[in-house]
A and B are shown apart, each in its own frame.
Chain A
Amino acid sequence: MSSAAASDAGAEIADLLGDQLARLFIKKVTREALAAAEQGRFDIALWKEITDIGAASALASEAVGGAGLSWAQAGGLLQSLGAHAPPVPLGETMLASWMLALAGIEALGAPLTVAGGLLQVDGEGRVSGEDALLSWAPHAAAIVAVAQGAGGRQLVLLATADAELTAQRTLDRLPAARVAMRGVQPLNIAPAPTVLGATGLLAPLAVLRAQQLAGGLAQVLALCVDYANTRSQFGKTIGKFQAIQHQLAELAELTAAAQVAAGYAARQLDSGNADSAERGAAVAKIRAGLSATRGAAIAHQVFGAIGTTDEHILHYHTRRLWQWRDEAGSEAWWAEWLGHRLLAAGGAELWSGIVSRD
């Protein structure tokens, strides 16, 4: 199959999968479902439906039974994880399965999670180190991580049961833990795929979070527009007030910027080049993080008091925006990372770096 035909087929599969998932999410990911998940109940039924559709291995190559979608093709799908916020580690499992397939490691069917922090591997292949926050670790059968060793960076698959988990409270109230490994024998190990640079899995994880932030913002924008056209004060819907219109116009701008930046990062990941991938991740996480920061504030202003209540759906989205912007490197962390590189390269390199493709 030519690469153009493959990419058309991929786009079609992505659309089909996206539609199926969106329908499932609209039906199943209700406020009640989110509340239950935040109280610690893992929705096994939802997870099973998702895996039955084949979504968990959407990014993994066809050779291992995945759909072989590129990150760019999966953009809409990943953003729908942000928009509907299904309380399962689907994004993490997709990323993990993609990585394992690239490294030639057989994936497990069960939910997986991804460590953004770098671990160490010793001469006997035993893995040690800590990750300060691993979302979904308490429900994941295994963890995919990058471990630095004498022989370079290795991709490792670790049984969660072999790790020490310390549960952490987070703004999204979903299961997460600090994870420590002390001389753990991995289930599998292989040289880290070349798309990963010195930041390891942090870069693709940041792209995943950026996509979720972009989707979350789009959902928040839709909720705001709907509310502004419904809620009446002073004899008219509040959306008729120019002050509200302009705030929502700004929210639309922030949303568009996050979407575009996340899409850019996806294409950089697809290039397979580690430098491009890291740079794309930085751009996307910075831009999406800044958009989420201002966007969540606008949304709460537009919704008034009702939007701050537990009963309302809004906070399920804004708390996730606040959580995701801090995970996998905040906008400030990535800006610093990127800024140091640009300063080291010097002013003359800035423009050529912007227009070069890798």
Chain B
Amino acid sequence: MSAAFHYPPFEIPPELDGLRREVRAFLSEASQQWSGWDIGHSWMGFDRAFSRAVGQRGWIGMTWPRAYGGHGRSALERYVVVEEMLAAGAPVGAHWVGDRQSGPLLLRIGSESQKQRFLPKIAAGEAAFCIGLSEPGSGSDLASLRSRATRVDGGWKLNGRKIWTTYAEHCDFMIGLFRSQGTAEVERHKGLSQFLIDLRSSGLEIRPIVDLTGEAHFNEIVFDDVFVSDALLVGRENEGWAQANAELAFERSGPDRYMSSFPLLPLAIDAVCEAGTIDRLSARRIGEALADIVTLREMSLSILGQLAAGHTPAQEAALTKDLGTTFEQRLPELVREITDNAPVISAGDKLSEMQAYLMQSVPSYSLRGGTREIMRGIIARGLGLR
């Protein structure tokens, strides 16, 4: 029996305790003004001033070479910083995509001039990136995308639409995936290319979309003859699909795939203690949650170790994302089970506000980054069923 998944242990050594303490001290200061509603946003909280402060401390682009504004630190050191940020519900959104995805992509396959131009800005917390994949007609079936890149003198013209682009309205740059060859029906994933797009380019219109929380987190973007120079093609022409997919194990296995609603738990514990309702039910629910968190953290760290060793644990990442998002989605319900959750949002009450925000936000956790059904399809393929 050869298993379709492996999780060799990967532990954070005690030497990193000092770094952890530094991050905590920084966060305990910074968090004074955050409301429960704010904290509920987790990595969807967008605060440029906060990201600049994080950049100043050297906590963005930590693992990148110093030559590009990075800090030459280890993947484990980055993990410590990131998990501390998420545990506190810090508003890391303005640098999250650049630090997790766009920066590493450029570092791996970007041109020398792209690295020099963009990486130092990301690391300083000054350039915010968004991801342009989804289109109105292409969600899970991303390879069917139609937005087109057409060769012109000195570069490309982009036409079409992107949608659900998180924080495009507030960001500076997008890495977008466009059809540079053939048709959606025939070429599918074979004719796609990635481009670095300045979101202030002419011909580009960004329309915020208000979501069910009443806030506008994502956007629709219309491209009408948007020019990008040849220098802004990322990697190789028509290789965009493979390039975008190579980052997915990073995107799907980080602590952001199980900790998005974590800050609810400590507050729920305190609420139960204050209400004097420590009983078998509350204890069981809290105990179960801890078992899940510890297990998910072990899985996430194991994948980090495999990635650091140069492997591509795509199965493990899909599996961990599905387990992790299921757990994140469960937490607001767990709070309802163990506290006397009133049907009002009490202003100034941290737990009540956080709960209210998360109740409305968690349904998206098993959509963003690839849906639950898509994850299970990947796992089933790994098991030999497809």
Q: Please give the residue numbers on chain A whose beta carbons come within 8 Å of chain B beta carbons, in ascending order.
A: 72, 83, 218-219, 221-222, 225, 228-229, 239-240, 242, 244-246, 248-250, 252-253, 256-257, 259-261, 263-264, 267, 282-284, 286-287, 290, 331-332, 334-340, 342-343, 346-348, 350-351, 354-355, 357
A290 touches B288 (CB 8 A): yes
Residues of A within 8 A of B320 (CB): 256
A355 touches B12 (CB 8 A): yes
A245 touches B4 (CB 8 A): no
B291 touches A287 (CB 8 A): yes
- Give Cα A283 to B380, complex, Å: 27
Q: Which of B11, B269, B323, B382 contacts A342 (CB 8 A)?
A: B269
**In the assembled complex, how far is the CB of residue A293 from the closest CB belonging to chain B, in whole angstroms?**
12
Q: Which of A246, A343, A347 contacts B380 (CB 8 A)?
A: A246
Residue contacts A-B, CB under 8 angstroms, 23 given: A245-B376, A246-B373, A248-B385, A249-B380, A253-B319, A256-B316, A257-B295, A260-B299, A261-B294, A264-B298, A290-B288, A334-B287, A335-B291, A336-B280, A337-B283, A338-B291, A339-B284, A346-B270, A347-B270, A348-B266, A348-B270, A350-B290, A351-B87
Which A-B residue pairs are the 7 nearest by beta carbons?
A: A339-B283, A347-B266, A335-B287, A339-B287, A245-B380, A338-B287, A286-B291
Q: Other than the known A256-B319, A343-B286, what 11 A-B pairs have Cβ atoms closer than 8 Å?
A: A244-B385, A246-B373, A249-B375, A250-B376, A284-B291, A287-B291, A335-B291, A342-B269, A342-B286, A342-B287, A343-B282
Residues of A within 8 A of B20 (CB): 355
Interface centre among B284, B322, B384 (most CB of A within 10 A): B284
Q: Which of A246, A267, A336, A355 contacts B283 (CB 8 A)?
A: A336
Interface centre among A248, A253, A284, A286 (most CB of B within 10 A): A253
Q: Please give the residue numbers on chain B whose beta carbons come within 8 Å of chain A beta carbons, in ascending order.
A: 1, 3-5, 7, 9, 11-12, 14, 20, 83, 87, 262, 265-270, 272-273, 278, 280, 282-288, 290-295, 297-299, 302, 316, 319-320, 322-323, 373, 375-377, 379-380, 382-386
Residues of A within 8 A of B384 (CB): 225, 229
A246 touches B376 (CB 8 A): yes
A340 touches B265 (CB 8 A): no
- Give Cα A333 to B11, complex, Å: 28
Interface of A, secondary structure class, is: helix
Identity of the chain A residue whose Cβ is nearest the Cβ of B377 in the assembled complex: A245
Residues of A within 8 A of B282 (CB): 339, 343
Contact A342 to B290, CB < 8 A, known contacts A245-B380, A245-B385, A246-B373? yes
Residues of A within 8 A of B285 (CB): 335, 339
**In the assembled complex, how far is the CB of residue B370 from the closest CB belonging to chain A, in whole angstroms?**
13
Residues of B within 8 A of A350 (CB): 265-266, 269, 290
Residues of A within 8 A of B383 (CB): 221, 225, 248-249, 252
Contact A249 to B322, CB < 8 A, known contacts A225-B384, A343-B278, A350-B269? yes
Q: Which of B265, B284, B379 contacts A336 (CB 8 A)?
A: B284
Q: Which of B278, B294, B319, B373 contacts A264 (CB 8 A)?
A: B294
Residues of B within 8 A of A249 (CB): 319, 322, 375-377, 379-380, 383
Residues of B within 8 A of A221 (CB): 383
A286 touches B287 (CB 8 A): yes
Identity of the chain A residue whose Cβ is nearest the Cβ of B382 in the assembled complex: A252
Interface centre among A264, A335, A343 (most CB of B within 10 A): A343
B290 touches A338 (CB 8 A): yes
Identity of the chain A residue whose Cβ is nearest the Cβ of B327 in the assembled complex: A257
B265 touches A347 (CB 8 A): yes
Q: Which of A244, A253, A335 contacts B323 (CB 8 A)?
A: A253
Identity of the chain A residue whose Cβ is nearest the Cβ of B316 in the assembled complex: A256
B376 touches A283 (CB 8 A): no
B299 touches A256 (CB 8 A): yes
Q: Which of A283, A335, A355 contacts B284 (CB 8 A)?
A: A335
A239 touches B385 (CB 8 A): yes
Residues of B within 8 A of A347 (CB): 265-270, 273
Q: Which of B4, B283, B291, B292 contacts A252 (CB 8 A)?
A: B4
